[in-house]
Amino acid sequence: MSETISSIRPARRLPPLSSLRAFEAAAAHASFQRAAAELSVTPTAISHQVRGLESTLGQPLFRRMTRQLVLTPAGLRLFHALREGFDTLEAGVQALRMRIEGETVTLTANTAFVAKWVLPRIAAFRLACPGIELRLHASDTLVDLARGDADLAIRSGQGDWPGLATAELMPERYAPLCSPRLGLKRARDLAQHRLIHSDWQPHASAPAQWPRWFAEAGLAMPARPRSKASAGLSFSDETHAMLAALAGHGVALLSLTLAAEELRSGALVQPFGPALDTGRYFLATAKGREREPAIRAVWAWIAAQAGKD
């Protein structure tokens, strides 16, 4: 049925679902108390819901005996109709859950993002999506989502990738970070400290590298040190650059998103700016696949987690 046809369908004239559920449970158990236990409410709440339903329908549904509830003819007809309807509804929901449960969703992201953002949240993911196995593909090389090399990707950039459905997650900004043990306070004192570098992929549109940072800070890039003891450090992976900064080996340009926990704990500090804008993080999948139940569930969870940052 098209959206146009469904949008003009007359509204269903039904009593509140809560009162129908309360009545169906009470009829099944012939008891307000046992119905209350099933629905995790009080017997008084069940009684009020049923009386409200009887008032709405204009006729009694139970004969209230001393120790028992007895359905009236009208109540019996309603009970059979609700039981069949709720059974059909439950079967439909269970079928949807079975489609999702046992499925594997492959999420790809660069190694630093997987290590510092995804992995600390895995316990939360298991609680939110218990029937889905999340396979993590950590790589700094982009995979072909259209070909099915992965189901979902978290990428940084501008989000304008042909053939992909995307959703913006959060900004990506880089700043000088270091151990508080260095005592660094002023940008001009960087010349006295070792600079830690990490590689960026060729496809990066606005990489956070030291020459760019010094230009935006309005400072001259320090001359290459002659002493090997004060020479810079270079890593192919940002997580290794972060570990070097944590150990006090120098100052690194690091993602404020990925180093959020270290900044909160005080293990790393941002002694000064500026922070470099390198784009934004996006969630992406091949167009059309965002409607698949398992992918939609993981997509919603990632988006919710990003909203907490």
CATH number, domain of 74, equals 1.10.10.10
- The structural domain count of the chain equals 3
Chain centroid to Cα 216, Å, comes to 33
- Give me the pLDDT at residue 282, please: 93
Minimal CA–CA distance to 253: which of 231, 236, 238?
238
Q: Concatenate the DSSP letters of all residues of 234-276 into one string.
A: EESSHHHHHHHHHTTS-EEEEETTTTHHHHHHTSSB--S-PPE
Least confident window among 11-25, 194-208, 246-260, 295-309: 194-208
Q: Which domain holds residue 122?
A: 103-170+281-308
Angstrom distance (rounded) from CA 236 to CA 31: 68
Residue 88 clears pLDDT 90, i.e. is over it: no
* Same-domain check for residues 107 and 141: yes
Q: Please check whether residue 29 lies inside any domain of the structure.
A: yes
Q: Please check whether residue 6 lies inside any domain of the structure.
A: no
Q: Please check whether residue 182 lies inside any domain of the structure.
A: yes
pLDDT tens-digit map of 25-65? 999 998 999 999 988 889 999 999 999 999 999 999 999 88
Please, what is the average pLDDT of the chain? 86
- Give me the pLDDT at residue 269, please: 96
Q: How confident is the model at residue 251 (pLDDT cuts 50, 70, 90)?
A: very high
Least confident window among 124-128, 158-162, 249-253: 158-162
Angstrom distance (rounded) from CA 282 to CA 171: 9
- Give me the pLDDT at residue 266, please: 95
* Same-domain check for residues 225 and 78: no
Pair 64, 72: CB distance under 8 Å: no
* Same-domain check for residues 180 and 200: yes
Which residue did the predictor score with more confidence, 76 or 201? 76
Of 46, 77, 100, which closes a domain?
A: 100
